[in-house]
RNA sequence: GCGGUGGUAGCUCAGCCGGUAGAGCAGGGGACUGUGGAUCCCCGGGUCGCGGGUUCGAGUCCCGUCCACCGCCCCA
């Protein structure tokens, strides 16, 4: 045999049940999003690399070491998108979606790419379904967006606990950063190696380090919520108030910081206790549109990890019942079976026409093997009498029925 | 990127101190000439992940490499 070509590391096929799970997650999320009047945008997978550097942040891990970057034939640096928000913002600006002066609610879905070590629930090509709201600073939007996320997870039957925090704005975050940095410097020798490195670059990250010593230091660290300016504080209080009004349960986590630079004010994460991983996360990014060359536009959004949600699905909705049409006999029978199968499909019945030849026993074995619920025998006797043999393979009972009755029964079973 | 575990039949795995590969399930055929999940009989199937080394001889030992999984970092 010739050499087998395999998938690239971290890339994979979704086959059979995996494909159905993927579809179920995406379709379910889409239905909820459409009920909230979000509109789909279909975005490119490749963007100029600088888009991500400027939005996510030069110094973040995602940009620094996880992007698939390459040079195109014109010598431009392009990248496979590592997340969806940057592209959505770029599209919002490029298509001038701000022009009518209202706010815009968009969603997208598709593959993202990060060059990381693959493991369970983490692949180099993974999929996200994301939602973005452009053009409102109203905390009602924050609460409703989180509520929407909550509804998607509940509809999927996925359990996750919600954590929220506020990261402040241009006015208050620098003040907090200074205070935190001062505090962390005093305790530098208690921090792990990684965190000492983080100190200058991204001191907020130290707060959610899992190393014992760092956690102790973080416990006593100044909390951002104590440093919020009036506007941010009010915003944060309102978001919590509205969430409670919606009946969405949450816990406040002052150490929740997120790894991307563009966040302001509200940030949130839904964490699955079963996976020990975040399945959906997002927040507000009030300066990003402006920073990417658009008009000043407050905005917020989230992204859900499709693969992670797939791992948490308890059950898939069943496929509709399957009938196998079994031709038994000569050419005339095959012609009839072709027509019969087509008519059944036209009536909405999931139908497989058996291409097997030979003993009828083999035909039934085939029907059984592919998981059929019914077998419909089209043989010489059926042609003569006009009565078709319909067998319920689960109950192991069969009847000879006129075609109209066969259709009626199968349609009923399919509904 | 770092650490750990593992790759043997389609699948799950066994294979001892190195002596040239096995089980169960799955698959194909039959017992059973228009009826499937049970039973019995028969059968096919393997570059032991890949490359190199040690050895008279390597699935087994050594080195490298690829891949998967788990943890770390990070993240959806």
Residues A307 and A331 in one domain: no
Q: Render pLDDT for A112-142 as a digit per residue (tens, 0 to 9).
A: 999 988 888 889 999 999 999 999 999 999 9
Token readout for A122 is 């983490």
Domain of residue A71 covers 17-172+228-312
Task: Decide if A372 is inside a domain.
Answer: yes
Dist. CA A29–CA A121, nearest whole Å: 18
Q: How far is the CA of A168 from the C1' of B27 (A)?
A: 63
Q: Render pLDDT for A350-387 as a digit per residue (tens, 0 to 9).
A: 999 998 877 888 889 889 888 899 999 999 889 999 99
Of A268, A293, A312, which residue sits at a domain end?
A: A312
- Assess whether pLDDT exceeds 80 at residue A212: no
Q: Render pLDDT for A82-93 as a digit per residue (tens, 0 to 9).
A: 999 999 999 999
Coil/strand/helix, residue A83? coil
Of A265, A280, A312, which residue sits at a domain end?
A: A312
Dist. CA A80–CA A88, nearest whole Å: 14
Q: What is the pTM of this model?
A: 0.90
Residues A276 and A334 in one domain: no
Number of domains, chain A: 2
How many angstroms separate the most distant Cα atoms in chain A?
Answer: 95
Dist. CA A143–CA A141, nearest whole Å: 5
Task: Decide if A51 is inside a domain.
Answer: yes
Residues A307 and A341 in one domain: no
Residues A341 and A303 in one domain: no
Where are the strands (E) in A285-349, listed by range?
A: 299-305, 322-328
Q: Which nucleotides of B are covered by protein (CB under 7 A)?
A: 1-3, 27, 29-30, 32-37, 47, 66-76
Angle at A237 between CA A234 and CA A238, to 5 degrees: 85
Residues A158 and A303 in one domain: yes
DSSP state of A317: P
Residue nearest to nucleotide B37 (CA to C1'): A368
Q: How far is the CA of A160 from the C1' of B51 (A)?
A: 47
Nucleotide with minimal C1' distance from the CA of A379 is B34
Question: Is the distance from CB of A105 to CB of A92 less than 8 angstroms?
Answer: no
- Assess whether pLDDT exceeds 70 at residue A2: no
Token readout for A93 is 């600006």
Average pLDDT for chain A: 90
Task: Decide if A198 is inside a domain.
Answer: no
Of A312, A331, A360, which residue sits at a domain end?
A: A312
Task: Enter the ipTM.
Answer: 0.83
Nucleotide with minimal C1' distance from the CA of A1 is B47
**Residues A244-279: b if buried by 16+ CB within 10 A, e if exposed:** eeeebebeebbbbbbebbbbbbbbbbbbbeebebbb
Residues A268 and A378 in one domain: no
The CATH number of the domain holding residue A373 is: 3.40.50.800
Residues A337 and A243 in one domain: no
Residues A398 and A270 in one domain: no
Residues A131 and A277 in one domain: yes
């Amino acid at each position: 045999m010739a050499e087998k070509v395999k998938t690239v590391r971290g890339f994979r096929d979704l086959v059979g049940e995996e494909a159905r799970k993927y579809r179920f997650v995406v379709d379910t999320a889409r239905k909820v999003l459409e009920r909230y009047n979000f509109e789909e945008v279909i975005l490119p997978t490749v963007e100029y690399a600088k888009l991500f550097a400027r939005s996510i942040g030069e110094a973040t891990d995602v940009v620094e070491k996880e992007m698939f970057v390459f040079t195109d034939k014109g010598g431009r640096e392009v990248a496979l998108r590592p997340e969806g928000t940057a592209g959505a913002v770029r599209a919002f600006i490029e298509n001038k979606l701000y022009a009518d002066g209202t706010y815009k609610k968009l969603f997208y879905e598709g593959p993202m790419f990060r060059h990381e070590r693959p493991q369970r629930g983490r692949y180099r090509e993974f999929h996200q379904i994301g939602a973005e709201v452009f053009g409102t600073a109203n905390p009602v939007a924050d609460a409703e967006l989180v509520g929407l996320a909550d509804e998607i997870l509940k509809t999927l039957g996925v359990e996750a606990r919600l954590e929220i925090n506020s990261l402040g704005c241009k006015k208050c975050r620098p003040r907090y950063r200074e205070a935190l940095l001062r505090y962390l410097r005093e305790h530098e020798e208690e921090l792990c190696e990684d965190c000492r490195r983080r100190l200058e670059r991204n001191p907020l990250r130290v707060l959610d380090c899992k190393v014992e010593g760092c956690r102790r230091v973080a416990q006593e660290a100044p909390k951002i919520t104590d440093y919020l300016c009036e506007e941010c504080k009010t915003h944060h209080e309102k978001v919590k108030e509205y969430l409670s009004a919606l009946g969405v349960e949450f816990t406040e986590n002052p150490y929740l910081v997120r790894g991307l630079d563009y966040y302001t004010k509200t940030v949130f994460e839904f964490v699955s206790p079963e996976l020990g991983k975040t399945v959906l996360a997002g927040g507000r990014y009030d300066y990003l549109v402006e920073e990417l060359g658009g008009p000043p536009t407050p905005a917020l959004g989230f992204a859900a990890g499709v693969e992670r949600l797939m791992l948490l699905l308890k059950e898939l909705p069943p496929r509709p019942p399957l009938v196998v049409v079994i031709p038994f006999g000569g050419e005339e029978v095959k012609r009839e079976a072709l027509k019969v199968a087509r008519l059944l499909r036209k009536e909405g019945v999931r139908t497989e026409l058996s291409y097997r030849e030979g003993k009828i026993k083999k035909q039934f074995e085939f029907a059984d093997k592919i998981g059929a619920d019914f077998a419909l025998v089209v043989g010489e006797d059926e042609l003569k009498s006009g009565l078709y043999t319909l067998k319920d393979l689960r109950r192991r009972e069969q009847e000879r029925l006129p075609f109209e009755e066969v259709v009626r029964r199968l349609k009923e079973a399919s509904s």
